[in-house]
């Protein structure tokens, strides 16, 4: 444990650097630090803040204000009222910033446009072992779990990411992110990176393809896009105008080489895929259009034992056990084989759900889809697929030649859309609920047709 009195600056950027593209234009580092200090003095005197601000600049500003004030930012896995309420109940003394519609939780309403501090301000020092954030996992494999983030962990991780992601990048990158700042992927790239590298982040969080293109075009070059495969697939398949994106950073789900190459041709930039988890943050990267292997980032080491994969780094408070199956290829590279929860054994056959889902979503006409095990005691896989105009038999017919018969999903239901989170991930609870709801509807329809 490091000395509690050791401290590191809130940012290492030059005062005149541009750190954000706010609603009213560019914001310099000196302006930003002064406004963060001004806001810190206004915050309620509570130990925890649940930051739900949708404007990315306002999130960055209020996160740094909370850090200056010695408060810990709680980041739920999503912004649904039930999820936020549960987090507030679990952490007494918390308040919400950024959403006045939630009942029963103290809300702090700040007019960010009133923060007009312009005086030169020196970035304050933050104790290295100050607890600054608690990030909750997405819940894609079960219940969301909390991960404590200390200032030394966040700062060292951001410096490590700058080294891994921005090699050869000397000019300032102007960044758009489609993933929410409350999620670890969005938090690391669009909130922490601007504090410790030449990044100016936009306040906008676009969702639809044309909105993404418009947001990117509004920024000066060179530009970077932080996104997920779900958003990037939609962007590729949409009829949008050409725009140059210098670098595209993707995470939250595996990306195919074909998709990476299409993105690079379409937007004339480089696609970098990121491997990480809420517990450890980003710890590996690859240039997906030409690489299968993942490169382990500086400061990190992977220890593979017969039982698990352990991640270690000097800035992590504890070793992190991965829920993934990997195979080392040399000292600093590995091949990803799938998640522990993705590996299924049916009728003596062992397979990967990630591989099955890749085969499903590459079928022409399939817009989105997922193959999964619907219950702990299930003996067959099931699938929910978004494929307008197609029948389940069409999809199964195209799956049969490429997968083992034991892995064919039955039932396979066509649905209007999947309950993806803002990051593009699927929370297991919501997925199972949609499956059960669809199954009941299909059963009722079958019973009605039989009775008629």
Q: What is the pLDDT of residue 402?
A: 84
Q: Is residue 1 part of a domain?
A: no
276 & 381 share domain: no
Q: Is residue 268 part of a domain?
A: yes
pLDDT digits (tens, 9 = 90+) for 36-94: 999 999 999 999 999 999 899 999 999 999 999 999 999 988 888 888 888 999 999 99
Q: Which two tokens stand for residue 123?
A: 């970035």
pLDDT digits (tens, 9 = 90+) for 380-426: 899 999 999 999 999 999 999 888 888 899 999 999 999 887 777 78
Please choose, from the candidates 95, 90, 85, 98, the residue with its C-alpha nearest in 3D space to the C-alpha of residue 48: 95
Residue numbers of the domain that contains 229? 7-338
Q: What is the pLDDT of residue 138?
A: 64
Between the alpha carbon of residue 415 and those of residues 40, 156, 234, 374, 387, the distances in Å are 46, 43, 17, 16, 8
330 & 409 share domain: no
Would you call 81 helix, strand, or coil by DSSP? helix
353 & 333 share domain: no
Q: Is residue 259 part of a domain?
A: yes
318 & 387 share domain: no
Is residue 243 within 8 Å of 111, Cβ to Cβ?
no
Between the alpha carbon of residue 315 and those of residues 145, 249, 300, 303, 324, the distances in Å are 20, 23, 9, 17, 21
Q: What pLDDT band is residue 141 in, cutting at 50, 70 and 90?
A: low
Q: What is the pLDDT of residue 341?
A: 64
Secondary-structure percent of the chain, ordered helix, strand, coil, rounded to 5: 35, 25, 40
Place of tokens 């494999």: 141
156 & 92 share domain: yes
Q: Is residue 352 part of a domain?
A: yes
- The domain boundary, picked from 279, 303, 338, lies at 338
Which residues, in sequence order, are bridge partners of residue 322?
309
Is residue 424 within 8 Å of 417, Cβ to Cβ?
no
**Beta strands 94-97 and 107-108, pairing class:** parallel
422 vs 253, more confident: 253
- The domain boundary, picked from 338, 363, 384, lies at 338
Place of tokens 């060292």: 156
**Burial (Cβ within 10 Å: 0-12, 13-18, ≥19) of residue 14:** exposed
324 & 415 share domain: no
**Mean predicted confidence (pLDDT) in 152-170:** 91
206 & 235 share domain: yes
Taking the C-alpha atoms of residue 239 and residue 449, their distance in angstroms, rounded to an integer, is 40
Number of CB atoms found within 10 A of residue 314's CB:
10
pLDDT digits (tens, 9 = 90+) for 199-247: 999 999 998 999 999 999 999 999 999 999 888 988 998 888 889 999 9
- The domain boundary, picked from 289, 306, 338, lies at 338
Q: What is the mean pLDDT of the chain?
A: 88
CB neighbour list of residue 443: distance below 8 Å, 6 or more residues apart: none
Is residue 227 within 8 Å of 179, Cβ to Cβ?
yes
Q: Is residue 239 part of a domain?
A: yes
- The alpha-carbon radius of gyration of the chain (Å, integer) is 23
Please determine, for residue 4, whether its predicted confidence score (pLDDT) is greater than 80: no
Q: What is the pLDDT of residue 82?
A: 84
Q: What is the pLDDT of residue 351?
A: 76
Q: Is residue 90 part of a domain?
A: yes
What total number of domains does the chain contain?
A: 2
Taking the C-alpha atoms of residue 186 and residue 178, their distance in angstroms, rounded to an integer, is 8
Q: What pLDDT band is residue 3 in, cutting at 50, 70 and 90?
A: very low
143 & 241 share domain: yes
> pTM here?
0.80
**Mean predicted confidence (pLDDT) in 332-338:** 85
410 & 352 share domain: yes
Taking the C-alpha atoms of residue 317 and residue 86, their distance in angstroms, rounded to an integer, is 26
Angle made by CA atoms 356, 361, 365, in degrees to the nearest 5: 140
> 168-182, 190-204, 400-414, 421-435 — which one is most confidently predicted on average?
190-204
Helix count (H) and strand count (E) of the chain?
Answer: 12, 27
CATH of the domain at 382: 3.30.300.30
pLDDT digits (tens, 9 = 90+) for 109-134: 887 777 776 666 789 999 999 999 99
222 vs 305, more confident: 222
CATH of the domain at 122: 3.40.50.12780
Is residue 269 within 8 Å of 248, Cβ to Cβ?
yes
256 & 383 share domain: no
321 & 404 share domain: no
Please determine, for residue 146, whether its predicted confidence score (pLDDT) is greater than 50: yes
Q: What is the pLDDT of residue 414?
A: 95
Q: Is residue 2 part of a domain?
A: no
294 vs 343, more confident: 294
Q: What are phi and psi of 72, to 5 degrees?
A: -100, 130
43 & 93 share domain: yes
Q: Is residue 31 part of a domain?
A: yes
């Amino acid at each position: 444990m490091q000395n509690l009195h050791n401290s590191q600056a809130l940012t290492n950027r030059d005062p005149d650097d541009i750190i954000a593209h706010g609603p009213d234009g560019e914001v310099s580092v000196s302006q930003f630090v002064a406004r963060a200090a001004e806001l810190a003095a206004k915050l309620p005197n509570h130990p925890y803040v649940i930051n739900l601000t949708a404007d990315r600049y306002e999130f960055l500003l209020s996160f740094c204000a909370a850090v200056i004030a010695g408060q810990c930012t709680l980041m739920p896995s999503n912004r649904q009222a039930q999820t936020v309420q549960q987090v507030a109940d679990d952490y007494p003394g918390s308040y919400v910033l950024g959403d006045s519609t939630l009942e029963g939780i103290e809300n702090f309403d700040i007019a960010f446009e009133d923060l007009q501090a312009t005086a030169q301000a020196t970035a304050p020092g933050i104790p290295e072992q100050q607890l600054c954030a608690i990030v909750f996992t997405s819940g894609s494999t079960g219940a969301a779990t909390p991960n404590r983030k200390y200032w030394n962990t966040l700062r060292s991780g951001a410096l490590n990411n700058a080294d891994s992601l921005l090699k050869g990048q000397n000019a300032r990158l102007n960044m758009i992110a489609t993933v929410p700042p409350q999620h670890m992927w969005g938090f690391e790239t669009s909130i922490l990176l601007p504090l410790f590298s030449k990044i100016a982040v936009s306040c906008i969080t676009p969702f639809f393809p044309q909105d993404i293109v418009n947001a990117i075009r509004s920024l000066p070059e060179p530009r970077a896009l932080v996104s997920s495969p779900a958003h990037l697939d939609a962007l590729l398949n949409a009829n949008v105008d050409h725009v140059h994106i210098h670098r595209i950073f993707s995470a939250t789900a595996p990306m195919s080489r074909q998709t990476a190459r299409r993105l690079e041709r379409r937007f004339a930039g480089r696609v970098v895929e990121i491997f990480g988890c809420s517990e450890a943050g980003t710890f590996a990267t690859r240039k997906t259009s030409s690489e299968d292997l993942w490169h382990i980032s500086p400061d990190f080491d992977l220890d593979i034992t017969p039982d698990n994969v352990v991640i270690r780094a000097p800035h992590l408070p504890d070793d992190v056990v991965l829920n993934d199956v990997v195979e080392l290829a040399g000292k600093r590279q590995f091949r990803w084989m799938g998640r522990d929860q993705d590996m299924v054994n049916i009728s003596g056959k062992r397979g990967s759900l990630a591989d099955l889902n890749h085969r499903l979503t590459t079928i022409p006409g399939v817009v989105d889809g997922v193959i999964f095990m619907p219950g702990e005691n299930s003996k067959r896989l099931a699938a929910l697929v978004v494929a307008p105009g197609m029948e389940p038999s069409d999809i199964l017919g195209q799956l049969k030649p490429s997968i083992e018969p034991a892995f064919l999903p039955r039932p396979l239901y066509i649905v209007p859309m999947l309950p993806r989170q803002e990051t593009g991930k699927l929370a297991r609870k919501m997925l199972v609920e949609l499956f059960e709801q669809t199954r009941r509807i299909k059963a009722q329809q079958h019973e009605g047709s039989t009775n008629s």
